[in-house]
Amino acid sequence: MIRYHRPLDVEGTINRNIPQKLAMALQQEIDTFAKHNPSFPPERDPPLPPATMFILDRTIDHSAPLLHEFTYQAMMNDLLPMEAGGTKYTYTYNQQDGTSATQQVILDETDNVYLQLRHMHIAECSDRLSNLIRRECSFAVLCWESGDGYGWGNVR
């Protein structure tokens, strides 16, 4: 028996049919093999219960991000709902007036911060981003205090 994951959110999931296609292809190969090999599966004494194979993607396997690359780019692709081939990220945030807004970010070769961070270890990225945010906030406060038209609302 082969069981596979199929997301409920079929509209918002890229490659949602891959586990199903893989399960069907594997089942077809097993059926073909069994047809040409009458002794498959071999009889056991005592008999074993039927095996079950699970085919899951990374949205179900929460340990997958911990078992491979720890770079910013790899973690971003594993943990964020990326679109457009892994370059577009859309998120919702609360504004100062209490309403929510949606922001879309393109993470590719045109983004200087992404270029600096994408191949770094995630711990190093965390430190680098913290320093970058601190520096940008300090700059915004200096501009705001100097009265040259910049303020927190202009920092993006």
pLDDT for residue 152: 46
Q: Is 17 helix (H, G, I), strand (E, B) or coil?
A: coil
Q: Are residues 81 and 104 in the same domain?
A: yes
Tally the domains of the chain. Answer: 3
Structure tokens at 153: 């609302």
Domain end marker among 24, 39, 61:
61
Work out the burial of residue 107: count CB atoms within 10 Å of its CB; fewer than 13 is exposed, 13-18 middle, 19 or more buried: buried
Structural domain that includes position 152: 121-156
76 closest CA partner among 118, 29, 15: 118
pLDDT by residue, tens only, the chain of 156 residues = 788 777 666 566 566 677 888 899 999 999 999 999 998 888 888 888 888 888 876 666 666 656 667 888 888 877 787 786 778 888 888 888 889 999 998 888 888 888 999 899 888 988 898 888 888 877 766 655 555 444 445 444
Q: Are residues 77 and 126 in the same domain?
A: no
Q: Are residues 57 and 71 in the same domain?
A: no
